[in-house]
Amino acid sequence: MPHIDIRNVVKRFDTADGPVHAFGPATIAVERGEFVSLVGPSGCGKSTLLLMIAGLLAPSDGSISVDGRIVAGTRTDVGIMFQDNTLVPWRSVRRNIELQLELRGMDPRGSRARIDTLLETVGLHDFANRAPFELSGGMQQRAAFCQAMVHEPDTVLLDEPLGKLDAMTREKIRADLQRLWLQTRTTVLLVTHSIEEAVQLSSKVCIITPRPGRLDGVIDINLPWPRDITVKRSPEFAAYVSEIGDVFHRYGEI
Ligand SMILES: Nc1ncnc2c1ncn2[C@@H]1O[C@H](COP(=O)(O)OP(=O)(O)O)[C@@H](O)[C@H]1O
Ligand SMILES: [Mg+2]
């Protein structure tokens, strides 16, 4: 049984202009501890799928199960992170991270060491007591990442978390993200537009078709870990990037 079992899932939204077919049908199996990327063009339903996995939206058809149990409401055992962070401006970085515990009825005092370790891992330990506005965009996303991880979630859902950052910051945070995943082996689902990012970080890449998104194919990325700049220069890496790029070329997307 897959850890996350997305089976024949379809999502339609009722709008003033009639129903919008936003996603599916798609069947995707995610094993525990995998790093899975969802790559697909804008509007194909990637964010909608993540929200359904988090239990924040219900599928119109089909089902999503976690360890054999149908997701039927908001899950508190996931960590979620979006392109725009949800840091509250009146709390320090540390207090923002603690907020995720408070919202789940957990006592943040027991997690001080864990928060310190997370801050250390993403290079924010000197900024724990700063307010979000005192941080660069990249640092804010790093803080948001700590928020997504602090309650030791079963699954981390990342919706284009690096989309708005400059190229160099993106590279750095990708390395942090990879290091943290290799340490924890938490199940990660990453939505990204970047084929290179997907190949570098993932154990498996799901290719989603243009709207309404269906699963075109799944590619296992058999490259050694950790995947640093030297792996990215290898012919094997380039071959994966071309293989996925060719699919979107066939769809006329790139
Ligand atoms: N709440 C909503 N109401 C109506 N339509 C929506 C809603 N959310 C998303 N959609 C539509 O569903 C489709 C998929 O959206 P989304 O999941 O945001 O795509 P992606 O994240 O892949 O860019 C789009 O056509 C979008 O306009
Ligand atoms: Mg989206």
236 within 8 A of 199, measured Cβ to Cβ: no
Mean pLDDT of the 119-134 span: 96
Ligand 1: atom nearest CA of 159 is 21
How many CB atoms sit inside 10 A of residue 148's CB? 24
Q: Tell me the pTM.
A: 0.95
- Counting the structural domains of the chain, the total is 1
Residues 35-68 pLDDT 10s: 999 999 999 999 999 999 999 999 999 999 999 9
121 domain residue, yes or no: yes
Task: Name the residue with the closest Cα to ligand 1, atom 8.
Answer: 48
Q: Is residue 246 predicted with pLDDT exceeding 90?
A: yes
Residue of 20, 80, 211 with the most ligand 1 atoms within 8 Å of its CB, for mutation: 20
Task: Name the residue with the closest Cα to ligand 1, atom 12.
Answer: 22
pLDDT score at 173 = 92
Cβ of 15 below 6 Å from ligand 1: yes
Residue of 9, 10, 13, 14 with the most ligand 1 atoms within 8 Å of its CB, for mutation: 13
pLDDT band at 85 (very low <50, low <70, confident <90, very high): confident
Give bridge partners of residue 38 from the DSSP assignment: 191, 206
Tell me the percentage of the chain whose pLDDT exceeds 70: 100
Q: What are phi and psi of 69, to 5 degrees?
A: -105, 130
153 domain residue, yes or no: yes
Tell me the percentage of the chain whose pLDDT exceeds 90: 96
104 domain residue, yes or no: yes
Mean pLDDT of the 184-209 span: 96
244 domain residue, yes or no: yes
Question: What whole-number distance in Å separates Cα of residue 25 and Cα of residue 213?
Answer: 8
131 domain residue, yes or no: yes
pLDDT score at 37 = 98
pLDDT band at 229 (very low <50, low <70, confident <90, very high): confident
13 domain residue, yes or no: no
153: exposed, middle or buried (Cβ count in 10 Å: 0-12, 13-18, 19+): buried
Cβ of 43 below 6 Å from ligand 1: yes
Domain with residue 199: its CATH number is 3.40.50.300
Residues 201-216 pLDDT 10s: 999 999 999 999 999 9
Mean pLDDT of the 212-234 span: 96
Cβ of 57 below 6 Å from ligand 1: no
15 domain residue, yes or no: no
66 domain residue, yes or no: no
| Average pLDDT for the chain | 95
Cα 194 to ligand 2 centroid, rounded to whole Å: 13
Mean pLDDT of the 87-102 span: 97
Q: Which domain holds residue 157?
A: 32-57+72-250
